[in-house]
Amino acid sequence: MPDRQPGDRVSEVFSEQVGALARDEPRDALREPRAKAGQAGIGGALIVFACVLALYAGAAFVAGIGLALSGVLPSWLAAVFTGLALSGRGRACRLRGADRIRRAAPPVPEQALSGVRSGGEAAGRAAREQ
């Protein structure tokens, strides 16, 4: 059995690490964009819900104006309060939805990229130490 060169072990360890990285990183890189896409989907659904509530709020305000014109104050007041409540809830849903979409963008696997960077730095340090 011939003597092994000192660089042979470094090369062997490096190729093992690269192989493990090549197997693991594609899977890890997809995990974060999928989670962000899910957050964006939830945010979009909340914005759609906010739009529906805004539509109902507009209908309640119109009903309130109609009832006000008919001279029935308690019904009018109830319709306006309903419209205000729906408007507030719609605004809250819109803000929450926009926040979720903002947090989800951009759909780049930031955690996986930082792991690759730190793994590359560790491999470089290991190679220098040998």
Residue 88 lies in a domain: yes
The range of the structural domain enclosing residue 51 comes to: 29-104
Residue 35 lies in a domain: yes
- 79-104 residue pLDDT tens: 787 788 888 988 999 999 999 888 87
Mean pLDDT of the chain: 78
- 7-26 residue pLDDT tens: 667 777 777 877 777 787 78
> pTM score, two decimals?
0.48
Mean pLDDT on 26-30: 78
- 57-74 residue pLDDT tens: 988 887 887 777 667 667
Rounded to 5°, the CA angle 95-96-102 comes to 90
Residue 92 lies in a domain: yes
Residue 96 lies in a domain: yes
Mean pLDDT on 40-68: 87
Residue 94 lies in a domain: yes
Residue 125 lies in a domain: no
Long-range CB pairs of 23-26 (<8 Å, 24+ gap) are 25/112, 25/115, 25/116
Per-residue pLDDT band for 108 (boundaries 50, 70, 90) equals low
Residue 124 lies in a domain: no
Domain count for the chain: 1
CB neighbours of 5 closer than 8 A, spacing ≥ 6?
none
**Structure confidence at residue 49 (pLDDT):** 94
Residue 98 lies in a domain: yes
